[in-house]
A and B are shown apart, each in its own frame.
Chain A
């Protein structure tokens, strides 16, 4: 490390350039990771907040909660300690009196008033009566307040906001919870005899097994499998993850080329040091130390840039810093650059000391 560090100190400009390139790559990796996490959270946050074990959907729903239709009577066919009926629809929402173009997308869940799915409110109270709702804090960015009356979709029945709960989104839309009864009325308004319909049944196993009567009528999914089937979730995740993985490959080659060129420039010096009996292992280690130092500094700089960036991103952009994932990606990035640096080791080993002294 002695040689590596002193060379960096001596030729600051050259090594700063390499460090900045690594920092830019790291910055891009972290921003993409932030977007992937933000988009992922935007799709699944509400589901994660349930802290449930799985969900039962109708078999013809193709694993989509929105497309699934069950009846309250289906609860009798599900044998598990805790089971909750849930209704779900995607609506547009506006406050009463607002213009139509001010509508936001909203993921509306209907649940029983004593359901374990019911979120704790941060302000206001929980819903007790028909046509009351608690809404996610995400709505605050659109100036929604307690006591506001909401109009969902084409319904003219106002729904009163009685509470706010923590930020929560499903399929990138902020979440509204209301009673199952209210949801059924909203959703099946024009089909009066169908008001016992629900979308699915969420359950907690509590260390026991799940038993289903008439199993062929149902699709039984773990929550993770269910999340993977949220429309667009896997595709978005795969796209961003693919970009991140390509960046690791690019980082390997970029640092590999830089370190190789620098090593070529030092061939005479390394040759002269070999003449003096300096072990090849020490020279090779010095190249790897240099790569390690430059990469570590670049990665830290990339992280700092990401934190700064996160303060300037608009609220509506789905972006979240996942420290665990960033830690893992930092290690992968470091490893990628070390692999790039290792490309030069062969040239260090092959340096002929005789040539260095003109022999």
Chain B
């Protein structure tokens, strides 16, 4: 089985006093290695909730999520944190870069957390591929929106995760830059055998995706 993410009978209900709202109903889906999958749907449909459950940031009310062979529900919060660091790369709508680290130091920080030796060759090749080599000594505040997202993508790939979860990664970009990022994610999914899930509102990105999952009122259609 090539699935990097398996979701079975996943439901999520939020309670507020006596009111209960179910935002996801019995979701079943699999994300395979080497595919870019888009999750689309109107605001409030449950897309981001599904993404955060995939990341182990919140618990499903029913059902289970498996990352490779590991069932998330059975992990402690520390184990989930370790799994996120080792298996999942994140690209977030707002920049997930550390304000006070230069582009180069952002990579060094990942090395420090991973306690591994610096992956100099990988860093160089990622920076070259994403065309950010010249930004090496710049701080996030000195980068344009597109540059920041390219650095975020390079960082998401740097610790060589099997999965990349992208939440509205093109929201802050113009149309041209947004398409470039989608094209890049598709290329990475195919060439690096990553399973990439991208939550997006932007229909223009869909042609670059291998599959599109649509959520409406919490149901996968």
Contact = CB atoms under 8 A, between A and B. Distances in A.
State whether these chains interact.
yes
A289 to B, nearest CB: 12
A247 interface: no
A279 B92 contact: no
A282 B81 CA distance: 12
Contacts of A7: 100
Interface in B81-110: 81-86, 88, 90, 92-94, 96, 98-101, 105, 108-109
Given A276-B84, A278-B85, A357 B92 contact: yes
B81 A354 contact: no
The 4 closest A-B pairs by CB, nearest first: A277-B85, A277-B84, A10-B100, A7-B100
A354 B92 CA distance: 12
Interface in B39-68: 48-49, 52, 55, 57-58
Contacts of B176: none
Contacts of B90: 275-276
B92 A272 contact: yes
A59 B18 CA distance: 83
A273 B96 CA distance: 8
Nearest to B113: A278
Interface of B: 48-49, 52, 55, 57-58, 78, 81-86, 88, 90, 92-94, 96, 98-101, 105, 108-109, 112-113, 139, 167
B98 A269 contact: yes
A271 to B, nearest CB: 10
Given A277-B86, A354-B52, 7 more contacts: A3-B101, A10-B101, A278-B113, A354-B57, A357-B92, A358-B93, A359-B49
Given A359-B49, A359-B57, A279 B100 contact: no
Interface string A78-109: 00000000000000000000000000000000
A316 B171 CA distance: 72
A2 B112 contact: yes
Nearest to B98: A269
Contact of B78 (A10, A275, A279, A354): A279
A40 B90 CA distance: 63
A54 interface: no
Contacts of B52: 354, 357, 359
B40 to A, nearest CB: 18
Contacts of B112: 2
30 contacts: A3-B101, A3-B109, A6-B100, A6-B101, A6-B105, A10-B99, A10-B139, A269-B98, A269-B99, A272-B92, A275-B55, A275-B84, A275-B92, A276-B85, A277-B81, A277-B82, A277-B85, A277-B88, A278-B81, A278-B113, A279-B81, A279-B85, A279-B113, A280-B81, A353-B57, A354-B52, A357-B94, A357-B167, A359-B49, A359-B52
Interface residues of A, number: 23
B20 to A, nearest CB: 19
Contacts of A357: 52, 57, 92-94, 167
A76 interface: no
Contacts of A274: 81
B93 to A, nearest CB: 8
Contacts of B92: 272, 275, 357
Given A10-B139, A269-B98, A354-B58, A2 B84 contact: no
B49 A276 contact: no
Contacts of B100: 6-7, 9-11
Nearest to A357: B92
Contacts of B94: 272, 357
A358 B51 CA distance: 12
Contacts of B58: 354, 359
A101 B99 CA distance: 69
A10 B101 CA distance: 8
B96 A275 contact: yes
Interface in A278-306: 278-280, 282
Interface in A301-359: 353-354, 357-359
Contacts of A359: 48-49, 52, 57-58
A354 B90 CA distance: 13
Contacts of A282: 113
Contact of B98 (A3, A11, A277): A3
B162 to A, nearest CB: 13
Interface in A6-35: 6-7, 9-11
A354 B101 CA distance: 23
A280 B98 CA distance: 16
Contacts of B82: 277, 279
